[in-house]
Structures are given as C-alpha cells and as structure tokens.
C-alpha cells in the first residue's frame, strides 16, 4: 500500500514576516518532508522563501490580487495542489503558528495511512506556555485538551484534510471570508461519512488570541452563523440553532457596539445568499449528537 503523500499550505497577508519564516523553518525540520509546500500571498507579494530558507520538496508561491479571506486563500492553494495531482493530504497551518515537534507530518501520514475514511485531523492549539484555550478544545464543556478522538469540528489554525474527502464534499466556503468555515466543512464531511478526528498529540504552538480582535468579528460571525444554518441544517433546526445563539450572544456580549454589529450581521445573513443549500441528513444530526455536539449549539 502506498503511503499518503503530504503537502503543507500556508496563507499569509504579508504582515507577519518573522512568524512565517519561523513556521516554515519548523516545517523544514520535520522528520518526514512534505512533497509540496504551497504559500499563498493573500493580496500581498511574497519573498522567495524556498531560496532563503532552504525549504524541502517543491515550493510554490501564489500571489492573489486581493485578500480573499482565509477560506478563499486556502481554496487557491487547494486548487493548485489539485492541478499537480500528486498529493493525498494537505496540512494547513496559520501563518503565526509553529510546529514545535519534528514528527508532526509523520504522525499525520500514519493516521491517514491507518484509516481510509479519515477526512479531517484537528491539531491541538497551545500558546508558548503550553496552555490551550478552552474555546480551542473541540467538545462542549471540555476541560482536558489532551483527550482525543472523533469529534464534530476542528480548529482552523492547524489541521489536515484528505484530498479525496474534499473532492467529494467540496472545498472551503469562500464566501464566509472569516468565521464558521471550519464548521461548514466539518458538517459536510460527517454527512458524507468521513471521520473528523481531534489528535492532541499533534501540536501547533500559536499565540493566545481572541477572535474579537478582528474589527469585523461581530458582524461576520453573526452573518456566517445564519448562512451556516441556512446551508446545512434541516429546516426545523434552523430557528432552534439561531435562537440558542441569539440568547447566548445577549448573555455574553457586553458592548452595545458589539451587539449592534452582531444583529446587523444577523440581518445581513438573511438578506444575502450564503451559497447553495444542502442540508445534512437526520442521521447526521444524530451522529453529531452522539459525538457530543448536537448541531443546535
């Protein structure tokens, strides 16, 4: 049996040059070299990383004319990898992340080699002190970041995707730009019978951050949640899911400006199309529920 061939994809806006260098050097130090490395300059020029850093494998640099958002930039990398046709798994990493251990890509290869229906592998995200923020543990109420296994979602900062899975379920929802794109992809994968695995032994070191640091956070977060439910949930669950999140938002968000932006985005999600509606099957709802996260929370 042929071992899965691994590629690494990184999307950057060019505003973290030192962090990107450090990330790529951590990729270069892996004990299993990737077949390809694709770096996307999301609306920005790119330096010649391969020559300067001595990166392994084939290195491809792509510069887009505008910032396509995180999912849009990743789709550009996936499209180029698909043109090459010689990669089975792509590891996508945030440009300010770092692979601390040298065996991450080898472990990814072994996981996919052992399970042909493994669709997505989520890494553990921890800061430089080793702390994992609770929002980065992909289970409701989970306190132990070292508990791995099948889950219903994954973290965008560090993960691996099966190219065969993507060929079946489709790429990232580029129209989301930022927020909830991981959930959309994970739900499609589970609905098609693929496994989403949280593997805490795969560590991506990442600075401790808050998603609200982005100026567009509240608006886009609400808009995309409406799009997510309209695209993926059976009709009876749409008002339940959105009702739960309206209540949670009112309880959590203390800023009037934040609430105003959130409800503006909520309305925008109903006014504008978020893409094709392909609701999951009820047996997928049950599967997600059995995995610990019913798709109304």
User: What pLDDT was estimated at residue 116?
Assistant: 96
Burial 151-175 (b: 16+ CB within 10 A, else e): bbbbbbbbbbbbbbbbeebbbbbbb
Same domain, yes or no: 226 and 204: no
Q: What is the mean pLDDT of residues 222-248?
A: 97
Q: What is the pTM of this model?
A: 0.95
User: What pLDDT was estimated at residue 297?
Assistant: 85
Same domain, yes or no: 223 and 197: no
**Cβ-based neighbours of 162, under 8 Å, separated by 6 or more:** 88, 89, 112, 118, 119, 120, 194
- Average pLDDT over the chain, rounded to whole? 94
| Residue owning tokens 């392909």 | 278
Phi, psi of 177 (to 5 degrees): 65, -50
Same domain, yes or no: 179 and 151: yes
Is residue 1 included in any domain, yes or no?
A: no
Q: What percent of the chain has pLDDT over 90?
A: 87
Tokens of 222: 């609400």
Is residue 74 included in any domain, yes or no?
A: yes
Cα 122 to Cα 62: distance, rounded to the nearest angstrom: 25
Same domain, yes or no: 152 and 232: no
Same domain, yes or no: 195 and 84: yes
User: What pLDDT was estimated at residue 215?
Assistant: 56
**Cβ-based neighbours of 69, under 8 Å, separated by 6 or more:** 42, 174, 176, 177, 178
User: What pLDDT was estimated at residue 140?
Assistant: 82
Is residue 297 included in any domain, yes or no?
A: no
Phi, psi of 217 (to 5 degrees): -55, -55
User: What pLDDT was estimated at residue 57?
Assistant: 82
Is residue 296 included in any domain, yes or no?
A: no
Same domain, yes or no: 251 and 200: no
CATH number at residue 168: 3.90.550.10
Domain boundary among 159, 175, 209: 209
Same domain, yes or no: 11 and 90: yes
Is residue 219 included in any domain, yes or no?
A: yes
Q: What is the pLDDT of residues 45-76, one digit of tens each?
A: 999 887 788 888 899 999 999 999 999 999 99
First to last CA, the chain: 41
3-state secondary structure the chain: CCCCCEEEEEEECCCCHHHHHHHHHHHHCCCCCCCEEEEEECCCCCCCHHHHHCCCCEEEEEECCCCCHHHHHHHHHHHHHHHHCCCCEEEEEECCCECCCCCHHHHHHHHHHHCCCEEEEEEEEECCCCCCCHHHCCCCCCCCCCCCEECCCCCCCEEEEEHHHHHHHCCCCHHHCCCCHHHHHHHHHHHCCCEEEEEEEEEEECCCCCHHHCCCHHHHHHHHHHHHHHHHCCCCHHHHHHHHHHHHHHHHCCCHHHHHHHHHHHHHHHHCCCCCCCCCCHHHHHHHHHCCCCCCC
Is residue 118 included in any domain, yes or no?
A: yes
Domain boundary among 176, 209, 242: 209
Same domain, yes or no: 88 and 13: yes
pLDDT higher than threshold 80 for residue 211: no
Domain that residue 223 falls in? 212-290
Q: What is the pLDDT of residues 118-153, one digit of tens each?
A: 999 999 999 999 899 888 889 887 789 999 999 999
pLDDT higher than threshold 60 for residue 212: no
Confidence of residue 210 (pLDDT cuts 50, 70, 90): low
User: What pLDDT was estimated at residue 1?
Assistant: 60
Cα 132 to Cα 23: distance, rounded to the nearest angstrom: 19
| Alpha-carbon distances, residue 153 vs 25, 184, 283 (angstroms) | 28, 9, 17
Q: What is the mean pLDDT of residues 247-262?
A: 93
Same domain, yes or no: 109 and 185: yes
Same domain, yes or no: 178 and 230: no
Confidence of residue 214 (pLDDT cuts 50, 70, 90): low
Is residue 295 included in any domain, yes or no?
A: no
Is residue 185 included in any domain, yes or no?
A: yes
* Domains: count for the chain: 2
Domain boundary among 177, 209, 241: 209
Same domain, yes or no: 99 and 181: yes
Same domain, yes or no: 224 and 152: no
Residues 24, 206, 246, 288, CA torsion sign: positive
User: What pLDDT was estimated at residue 49?
Assistant: 85
């Amino acid at each position: 049996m042929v071992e899965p061939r691994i590629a690494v994809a990184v999307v950057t806006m060019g505003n973290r040059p030192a962090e990107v260098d450090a990330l790529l050097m951590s990729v270069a130090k892996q004990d299993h070299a990737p077949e390809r490395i694709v770096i996307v300059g999301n609306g920005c020029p790119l330096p010649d990383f391969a020559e300067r850093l001595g990166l392994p494998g084939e290195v491809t640099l792509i510069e887009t004319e505008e910032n396509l958002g995180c999912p849009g930039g990743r789709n550009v990398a996936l499209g180029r990898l698909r043109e090459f046709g010689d990669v089975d798994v792509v590891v996508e990493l945030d440009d300010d992340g770092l692979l601390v251990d040298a065996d991450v890509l080898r472990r990814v290869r072994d996981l996919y080699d052992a399970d042909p229906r493994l669709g997505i592998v989520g890494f553990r995200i921890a800061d430089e002190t080793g702390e994992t923020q609770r929002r980065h543990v992909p289970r409701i109420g989970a306190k132990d970041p070292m508990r791995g296994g099948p889950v219903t979602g994954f973290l965008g900062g560090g993960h691996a995707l099966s190219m065969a899975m993507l060929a079946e379920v489709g790429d990232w929802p580029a129209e989301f730009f930022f927020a909830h794109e991981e959930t959309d992809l994970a739900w499609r994968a589970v609905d098609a019978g693929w496994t989403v695995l949280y593997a805490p032994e795969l560590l991506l070191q990442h600075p401790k951050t808050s998603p609200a640091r982005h100026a567009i956070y509240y608006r886009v977060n609400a808009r995309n949640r409406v799009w997510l439910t309209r695209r993926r949930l059976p009709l009876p669950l749409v008002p339940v899911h959105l009702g739960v999140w309206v209540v949670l938002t009112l309880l959590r968000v203390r800023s009037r400006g934040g609430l105003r932006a959130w409800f503006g985005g909520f309305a925008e999600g109903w006014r504008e199309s978020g893409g094709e509606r392909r609701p999951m099957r009820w047996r997928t709802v049950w599967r997600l529920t059995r995995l610990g996260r019913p798709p109304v929370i």
